[in-house]
Structure formats: C-alpha cells, structure tokens
Structure 1
Amino acid sequence: MAVEKNLGSKIKQIRISKQVSPEQLAERTNLDVKLIKKIEDEKVVPSLAPLIKIARALGVRLGTFLDDSDQLGPAIVRSGGQEKGVRFTSQGSEAREHLNFFSLAFDKAGRHMEPFIVEIEPSEQSDYMLSSHEGEEFIYVLEGQIEINYGKDVYLLNPGDSIYMDSIVSHNVHAANKQPAKILAVVYAPF
C-alpha cells in the first residue's frame, strides 16, 4: 500500500511547512516526541487516534495525510477501486492486531468525513487498549464479526449490524472470535 509509505513523510512535510518543530507537535498532541519522530521516519505506523491528534494540531483534515487531490466535485470509487490504503495498528506500535484502511473518498478535497473500507486482522491476545479522539464514527459490518469496547460496555456486531458512536468515549474496534472482519467506517473529526 503506497500511502502507508508516504504517511510519515507527508506529516513531516506539513509540519515543516507550518513551521512546527517535532517538540511543539508533541506538546500540542500530548504524544511523545520520540513517537512523532518514528512516525515521520516511517519506523512506526500510528493508530488512528494519534493520527487524528496530529491532524488537528497541524490544522488539517485527517484525509490530508491520505490524499493528493484538489477535486472539489463528487468522488466516485468503483467496486474494487479502493487502491489507496493505509495500515494502522489498533493500538500502540507493538500491537498484534492491524487495521487496513481503504479510503472511499481520496479524490475529494475539502471533505469533512472520512469513509473507509477497513479490513480487520484478528489478534491472538485480548489486551485491547481503548483510545479516544474528537468526533463521531459510523461503522457497518460487511463481513465477519466485530467486537467494540465502548466505555464500560462491549458490543458484538454481525454482518448487517451498525453502530454510530461518539469517538470521545474510549473505544476499541477489533475482530471477534479470532477471525478476520471487514467494515465500512465513516469517521468525522472536526478541526
């Protein structure tokens, strides 16, 4: 996935263009400066929550890290056309579960929502760390079964089930029963 290789360098490019040092970005995001440098050097693939914090601190949309388009009209992605993807870990850099994100709007500039098809690879262990970020998420299960830890509650969703949740509540989305799953996720993160 080409975007994964460019994610860190794009973050670094935007940070430099905004004249923000790695230390300033760490302070604005509440992230360790070592983590920011590892992300920028492509040594670590961040989870979605830190990426949203970085986007917000730099004053850009989350999609800015994922797209190169200036198209203002509608964005159409034909079946099988989710070419651009990025791989996130579901938690810290040592995570065993991975989420493969395929953008459904990479050609749409100025968007406020981020729609993705997400392939969720199962984890062998169940030490799911909860994370939170500003905004809202809508998830629709396409294949497999997912489990969502949301605050103190746990929800099991099957194909055809959906959930709309506030992202500020600590949460974790992962594959259930150690089987892969696929979801449609729409993330709204204000900046």
Structure 2
Amino acid sequence: MCLTEGCRAMGFARILCSNNMRMAAGRRNVSCRMVSRRFRRPSRDQGSMIEANLGEAIRRLRERQRLTLRGLAGKTNFSPSFISQVENSQASPSISSMERIALALGVTLGEFFQWAETKAPRIVRVAERHGLTSEWSKAKIEALGSSGVDSKLEAVMVTLFPGGTSAKHPTPQPREEFAIVFSGTVTLTLDEGPDEVLAAGDAVSIQAGLPRRWWNTDTVDAQILVISTHSATQP
C-alpha cells in the first residue's frame, strides 16, 4: 500500500490504495479510493401516512346511529355480510363503495378519518396525514385537513396506483367537486361522455350528482387533489 500527497491532505477520509502491476507496460498504477467518515442522514419518507382503520370507523358511526348491519346494508344496497367483512377488515371496498357507505351514514369520506384524530389540526404535515387504502381500487386516500360539520370544504389526496380505478363504472356523487391532477396522468369519464386524459396540472369541476370515474392507465402512480363541498346538515 501507499499514500499519495493528495490523499494525505484529506485527514477526514480513509485511504484505500491498491497497486496493480502491469508487466507488459512496465508501469505501476496506483489507484486510491477515499471513503468519507461522514454519512448522509436518510431522508424522511414523503409518501408515508398514518393508516386509519376503515372498518372501525364504519362500526363506530353505525353504532352511534343505532344501525344494525342489515340496516346499513339496506341503505347502501350491499349485503350484510359484505358490511361485516369491511368492518372486520376482511374486505377492501372500492373508493366508490366507501363513498356510498359514507353517504348512507350521513358523513363525508373525509370524516372516516376523524376517529383517529386527537385534535383538529390547521396544518397537516405530509408524514402526519391520516389515510385509507383500497386494495380493490389500487388506491390510497389521504386527508389534507380536519373534517366536521363546521367545515365548508373537504380536501383529500387520492393516489391511484397503476391500473387503479375509483369504480367499475361512473358513479354519481352528492357533492360538487373540484379536482386537479397533482402528478402523473389519469383518465376521467363523466357520465356517458368520452374518456378524457388529464395530465399533471389539468383541472376539472364536477357538478353534484354527475357520475364520474377516475382511472390510472399509466405505468406510474397518479395523484389527484380533490376538494369537495361539505354540507353542514347531513342527510
């Protein structure tokens, strides 16, 4: 081993030298590799979220309203066994099914997150978002603020993984929505109209009651920021 003058000046580094003898050229090649003792602290995972228990939230809301499994099933047109499976985390409903259950319970989709919150934060850090995952939709939904009867607006970030979709067919929503594609590209179907491809930065306003379907046909994740009106008096 050897130390070159340039390597000696770097007192904070470890020097690894190797001599390679090349007989044909009659020369000695000296190569030095410096390994710094300093290291970079791992960056915080920007995609992390606090996973909320959808089944527990539905059960609490249902019992608070003194609804039986059959009662909630009748209001959603789902079977009692399906509602039971969702409450016991044995089934992962689509985004559309989540919205239908929320409507039957007289809440918004964002209010499913409330049971996990200890306070109503005005600032929601990226790693402190409460979220729900839908295996059926291949998607996750993150709350960007606190929902409640005093709120006028509700904001959620919807991430559709490749092949992810909000529903099999366009489904109507009871509240007006404004959506902007945050990243990636998505296909939007409104009512019986043609499919529209939206890229990052594209926005759309959707009237209450208009059927819509989101679909990620790309090979990378797509994120949609959805802001909807929040009625102070729930049905």
Task: Quote the offset at 1:163 in angstroms.
Answer: 0.6
1:83-102 to structure 2, matched below 5 A, reads 83-89=129-135, 95=136, 97-102=137-142
Which amino acid is the alignment partner of residue 229 of structure 2?
Answer: Y
> Deviations along 1:72-104, whole A, 9 cap, x unmatched?
6x72224x2453111135xxxxx4x41211110
Instruction: Report whether the alignment pairs 1:149 with 2:196.
Output: no
Instruction: Report whether the alignment pairs 1:115 with 2:155.
Output: yes
- In structure 1, C-alpha distance between the alignment counterparts of 2:124 and 2:164, rounded to whole Å: 33
Aligned counterpart, 2:225: 184
Instruction: Report whether the alignment pairs 1:134 with 2:170.
Output: no
Kept in 2, the 8 Å contact 1:134–1:189? The answer is no
Kept in 1, the 8 Å contact 2:187–2:215? The answer is yes
Aligned counterpart, 1:53: 100
- In structure 2, C-alpha distance between the alignment counterparts of 1:150 and 1:82, rounded to whole Å: 33
Kept in 1, the 8 Å contact 2:138–2:164? The answer is no
Going from structure 1 to structure 2, the CA distance change for 1:39 and 1:124 (only over 3 Å counts) comes to: closer
Among all aligned residue pairs of Structure 1 and Structure 2, give the percentage whose two residues are the same amino acid. 24
Kept in 2, the 8 Å contact 1:101–1:119? The answer is yes
Which amino acid is the alignment partner of residue 37 of structure 1?
Answer: S
Which amino acid is the alignment partner of residue 175 of structure 2?
Answer: G
Task: Quote the offset at 1:11 in angstroms.
Answer: 0.8
Task: Quote the offset at 1:2 in angstroms.
Answer: 4.5
Name which of 132, 146, 161 aligns with 2:202.
161
Please state whether the residue corresponding to 2:73 is helix, strand or coil.
helix
Give the 4+ runs in structure 1 shifted more than 6 A. none
Aligned counterpart, 1:92: none
> Deviations along 1:14-50, whole A, 9 cap, x unmatched?
2122211010111112222222111111112222333
Q: TM-score, normalised by structure 2?
A: 0.66
Task: Quote the offset at 1:3 in angstroms.
Answer: 3.4
Structure 2, unpaired ranges of 5+: 1-48
Structure 1, unpaired ranges of 5+: 90-94
Aligned counterpart, 2:85: 38
Which amino acid is the alignment partner of residue 209 of structure 2?
Answer: I
Task: Quote the offset at 1:189 in angstroms.
Answer: 5.6
Aligned counterpart, 1:22: 69
Kept in 2, the 8 Å contact 1:87–1:101? The answer is yes
Kept in 2, the 8 Å contact 1:71–1:109? The answer is no
How many residue pairs get aligned? The number is 180
Q: TM-score, normalised by structure 1?
A: 0.80
Going from structure 1 to structure 2, the CA distance change for 1:113 and 1:47 (only over 3 Å counts) comes to: farther
Please state whether the residue corresponding to 2:82 is helix, strand or coil.
helix
- In structure 2, C-alpha distance between the alignment counterparts of 1:128 and 1:18, rounded to whole Å: 30
Root-mean-square deviation (CA, aligned residues, Å) is 2.7
Which amino acid is the alignment partner of residue 142 of structure 1?
Answer: F
- In structure 2, C-alpha distance between the alignment counterparts of 1:47 and 1:188, rounded to whole Å: 21
Aligned counterpart, 1:174: 215
> Deviations along 1:36-74, whole A, 9 cap, x unmatched?
1111111122223332332232233433311234756x7
